Structure 1
Amino acid sequence: MATLAGCATDGADSTYLGPFIAAEHAATPFDPITASRPTADFASAYRIQQRYVRHRLRAGDTVAGYKGGLMSHASLKARNVAEPLVAVLFGSGRADDGATISLCGYRKASFELKLGYLLPSSSADRSRGVMVLPVIDLPDIAYRDPDHYNAIDMVAANVSTARYVRGAMRDADRVDLDGVRVSLTRDGQPIASGLSAESLGGQRRSLDTVLTLARRTGRDARPGDLIVTGKIGDRGWLLPGRYSANYGPLGMVRFTVVACAVRPAVAS
Structure 2
Amino acid sequence: MIYSRIEPCGHDPSVVPAITRLLETVGTPDFEHSIKSILSLCASVGEYIAFVRRTDEKVPYIVMSASECGGSARRAEAYRARYFRYDPINRLLDRSTPTGIYIARVKSEEILQSDYRQTCYVRPGFIEKLTLASNEKTPVVLSVFPKNHRVEFQRDEVERLSNIGQILLSVIKVHSRMTAGVTRTRRLTAEDVEVRLRANFPDLSGREVAVCARSLLGSTAEGIANDLGIKQTSVLTYRRRAYDRLNISSVHQLSTMLIQ
TM-score category, normalised to shorter length: under 0.3
TM-score under structure 2 length normalisation: 0.27
TM-score under structure 1 length normalisation: 0.27
Pick the structure with more helix per residue. Answer: 2
Q: State which structure, 1 or 2, has the greater radius of gyration over its C-alpha atoms.
A: 2
Highest RCO, 1 vs 2 (Cα 8 Å, sep ≥ 6): 1
